[in-house]
Amino acid sequence: MAASQLATMLKGGELQAGCFARLNKFVLNTIQNKSIVILLDVAVVGAPTGLVGAPTSYPDGAPLPSATAAALGGPAAPAPARAFAPQHNARPAPAAAPKPPSNFGAAMRGAAAPGGGGAFRSISELNPYQQRFTIKARVTAKGPMRTWNKPTSSGNLFSVDLLDGSGEIRGARRPVAATMFERCGVGNDEQSSPSRFVGGTFFKEVADKVFPLLEEGKVYVFQETSGRLKPSNKQYTSIPHEFEVTFGNVTVEPADDDGAIARIVGDWKKISMFADGGGPREGNVDIVGVIKAAFPAGQITSKRTGQELTKREVVLCDDSGYDVRLTFWGELALRDDAFFEAQPVLAAKGLRVSDFGGVSLSSGFGSQLIFDGQEDPESLRLRAWWTEGGGREAPTVALTGASGGSGAPAAFGDRIVLDDIKGRQLGFGEKPDYVTFKGTLNFVKTDKLWYEACAQEGCQKKVVQNSDGTWHCEKCQATNAECKRRYLMSSTFVDDSAQSWISAFNDHATKIFLGVNADDLAAYKEEVENEDGKFEDYMKQFLFKQYVVKVRVKSEVWQEQSRVKASIVDIFDLDYVAESRDILAALAVMD
Ligand SMILES: [Zn+2]
């Protein structure tokens, strides 16, 4: 029987009667009392020929010759055929058994359970053709018990995320540490590789029975005899597994935690992915960072439910040079100040990303959090960077605006004037200052407006042009035919108190240039290259417009000189009606 992923090979005529095929991956199963080999991954290695020899059907129920049994990872001694199914026997073949031919190696890995010789099916190979399977897995997340009440039915359920060691054994994903350095931006390759994570759901009586047994972070053996696997709904889960399990008749037992299954496995991203407007502003992200600072816990009332919630914001940084705000809720938020002041390393899988304050993160039900993980290589590496590598002293750029930021300009009364930047010595504190002013854009440096950035999705690193005109990205270690220009604009703004140099990154500069992106502007500049002053004239249309601008102000030491740099965090067209109203109100107070 061929699994659905082989349908195209069958339809396309690649896999046809008489051809030679290598079974890279298969499972043996009992379906309606018949032993069936289900092909999961097949490579056609030879064109169709006539039959070789005179093969006959294998008699049902007959014992297998021991050599074949060993090759298939089954018991060496003659055994009833049903011993192969439903659970795959992964006992190693006795030394006396003939060595299976080398091309059976792949099949062995497919059929036998990796992960240290136990008779466990690996999560990466769970598929809808199996109702019976035994897996050994760590519960990395456990959801709350939920109930549903419909006219047609009612009941309760809860879900878990399960992780085993299969991905590591099969090398389906690169080790986490290597991934950190090689990957750039949002990767998508895990969609196609087997996942050692799977989501599982328990219903009704099974849920009642299993719920008290399972604890997050612990390892269990799940022996299932009537499970159902269905395609996972990617809308509701970030787990890359093709299927999710509905447990039916399951026995759950605590298992030894021998460390073979990682405590946390994430698709770790650097915080810098959010810099300069990059990265997602929704969905989930996996990040390892140091809690650099924490704000006091506070209460808010949920707009949706009216419930009082405790929240605590912390500043999470990593060695990419950036930091971002992260919000904890509930019990976690109520932990002692001392816990956060110890600056723990947090490995967090499934943090929610939002555009609040530019970009910010929050932990939720689906998040898996490990503080100061002693077994997680990335946590250990970051801990070393923080304490020994000088990370503690290294400044980071804040990506989350201090006061909400995005969406609405700061209140009229909270603005500064440009002279305050000097006058109030802004930017010299430990943290950057975020201030808002009303000003007029009066100069844009037009000779250098953009940089050439990597065309790779999610990467914004500067690229270098090769002699053949292609572009090389140091970070991606890749050469692309194209580059993508991104604005890095120097400009001055003026108000009635002073004039200041203000820089703008891509998104804000694009806004100032009325939506014309850097690639288009560069093309125009090239087009009018020979027409003296034409480009400069074109750029003048963007000047002398009033804005309400939120800037980040921070002093930076450059060539032993400290200078204050202001860069745009948010920019709004001046709303003249609102502005007039605010001015009148302010004047009224002065009376
Ligand atoms: Zn790149």
pLDDT recorded at residue 33: 66
Contacts of 571 (CB under 8 A, 6+ apart): 504, 508, 511, 512, 547, 548, 549, 550
Which burial class, exposed, middle or buried, applies to 57 when counting CB atoms under 10 A from its CB (0-12, 13-18, 19+)?
exposed
> 472 alpha carbon to ligand 1 midpoint, in Å?
8
Predicted pLDDT of residue 174: 29
CA of 180 to the centre of ligand 1 (A): 14
| Per-residue pLDDT reduced to its tens digit, 7-60 | 778 887 788 888 888 888 777 776 666 677 878 888 888 877 777 777 777 666
Distance from Cα 287 to the centre of ligand 1, integer Å: 19
Looking at residue 497, its pLDDT comes to 94
Q: Are 140 and 147 in contact (CB under 8 A)?
A: no
Higher per-residue pLDDT: 137 or 115 = 137
Give residue 300's pLDDT. 76
Q: Is 258 helix (H, G, I), strand (E, B) or coil?
A: coil
CB atoms within 10 A of CB 219: 21
The residues that bridge with 158 in the sheet, in sequence order, are 202
Is the Cβ–Cβ distance between 91 and 75 less than 8 Å? yes
Torsion of CA 387, 391, 395, 399, to 10 degrees: -110
Chain centre to alpha carbon of residue 351: 9
177: enclosing H helix or E strand: helix 176-182
Select, from the ranges 24-38, 210-224, 294-308, 380-394, the one with the highest average predicted confidence (pLDDT). 210-224
Find the 507 Cα to ligand 1 centroid distance in Å.
19
Higher-confidence residue: 230 or 177? 230
Share of the chain above pLDDT 90, in %: 35
Task: Write down the pLDDT at residue 194.
Answer: 63
Question: Is 62 in a helix, a strand, or coil?
Answer: coil
What mean pLDDT is predicted for residues 301-326? Answer: 85
Domain limits, the chain: 4-111, 123-254, 278-398, 412-453+485-590
Q: How far apart are CA 124 and CA 122, in angstroms?
A: 5
Q: Ligand 1 mean position to 346 CA, how many Å? A: 26
CA of 448 to the centre of ligand 1 (A): 21
**Statement: residue 98 has pLDDT above 70:** no
Residues with CB under 5 A from ligand 1 (ion): 184, 454, 456, 459, 461, 473, 475-476
173 CA distance to ligand 1 centroid (A)?
21
Model pLDDT, residue 13: 79
Across 502-526, average pLDDT? 92
Query: How many A from CA of 319 to the centre of ligand 1?
Result: 18
pLDDT tens for 416-442 read 999 999 998 899 888 888 899 999 999
Distance of CA 463 from the midpoint of ligand 1 (Å) = 8
| Strand segments (E) across 425-524 | 433-444, 450-453, 464-465, 471-473, 478-480, 484-494, 499-505
- Structure confidence at residue 96 (pLDDT): 42
DSSP state, residue 476: T
> Given this model, what pLDDT does residue 64 score?
57
Q: Give me the chain's average pLDDT, please.
A: 79
SS3 content of the chain, % helix, strand, coil (to 5): 20, 35, 45
CA of 320 to the centre of ligand 1 (A): 15
Say whether 348 sits in a helix, a strand or coil.
Answer: strand
CA 456 to ligand 1 centroid distance, Å: 5
Distance 478 CA to ligand 1 centre (A): 7
What is the whole-number distance in angstroms between the Cα of residue 462 and the centre of ligand 1?
8
CA 185 to centroid of ligand 1, rounded, Å: 8
The CATH class that applies to domain 123-254 reads: mainly beta
Structural tokens at position 283: 């969905």
Cα 268 to ligand 1 centroid, rounded to whole Å: 17
pLDDT at 451 over 90: yes
| Cβ atoms < 10 Å from Cβ of 528 | 14
Q: Contact, 391 vs 319, CB < 8 A?
A: yes
Residue 536: count of CB within 10 angstroms of its CB: 13
Q: What is the pLDDT of residues 342-395, one digit of tens each?
A: 999 999 988 999 888 788 999 976 788 899 988 888 999 999 999 888 788 877
Ligand 1 center to residue 455 CA distance, Å?
7
Note whether 362 and 351 are within 8 A (CB).
Answer: yes
What percentage of residues in the chain have a pLDDT greater than 70?
A: 81
**12 to 8, 15, 50: CA distances (angstroms):** 6, 8, 20
Fold matches, 278-398 and 412-453+485-590: yes
**Residue 119 above 80 pLDDT?**
no
Whether the Cβ atoms of residue 250 and residue 228 lie closer than 8 Å to each other:
no
Query: So what's the pLDDT on residue 490?
Result: 95
> Ligand 1 centre and the CA of 241: distance in Å?
27
Output phi, psi for 539, to 5 deg. Answer: -70, -20
What is the H or E stretch that residue 39 is in?
Answer: strand 34-46
The CA 476 to ligand 1 mean position distance, Å, reads 4
pLDDT mean over 402-413: 56
Which range is least confidently modeled, 167-176, 445-454, 558-567?
167-176
pLDDT score at 421? 92
CB-based contacts of 200, cutoff 8 Å, min separation 6: 159, 160, 161, 162, 222, 244, 245, 246, 247
Which residue did the predictor score with more confidence, 222 or 64?
222
pLDDT for the residue numbered 226: 92
Tell me the fold of 278-398.
Answer: OB fold (Dihydrolipoamide Acetyltransferase, E2P) (2.40.50)
Cα-to-centroid distance, 282 and ligand 1 (Å): 22
Please list, in sequence order, all residues whose beta carbon lies within 8 angstroms of the beta carbon of residue 428, skipping any fewer than 6 positions away. Answer: 555, 564
412-453+485-590 CATH choice from 3.75.10.10, 3.40.50.2300, 2.40.50.140, 1.10.150.120: 2.40.50.140
Q: How far is CA 278 from CA 33, 282, 290, 405, 485, in A?
A: 55, 12, 21, 17, 14
At residue 63 the predicted structure's pLDDT band, cuts being 50, 70 and 90, is low
Per-residue pLDDT tens digits for 462-489: 999 999 999 999 888 889 998 999 999 9
Q: How far is CA 285 from CA 168, 331, 370, in A?
A: 21, 22, 15
| 324/396 Cα distance (integer angstroms) | 9
Question: How many angstroms separate the CA atoms of 451 and 324, rounded?
Answer: 25
Ligand 1 center–CA 464 separation, angstroms: 11
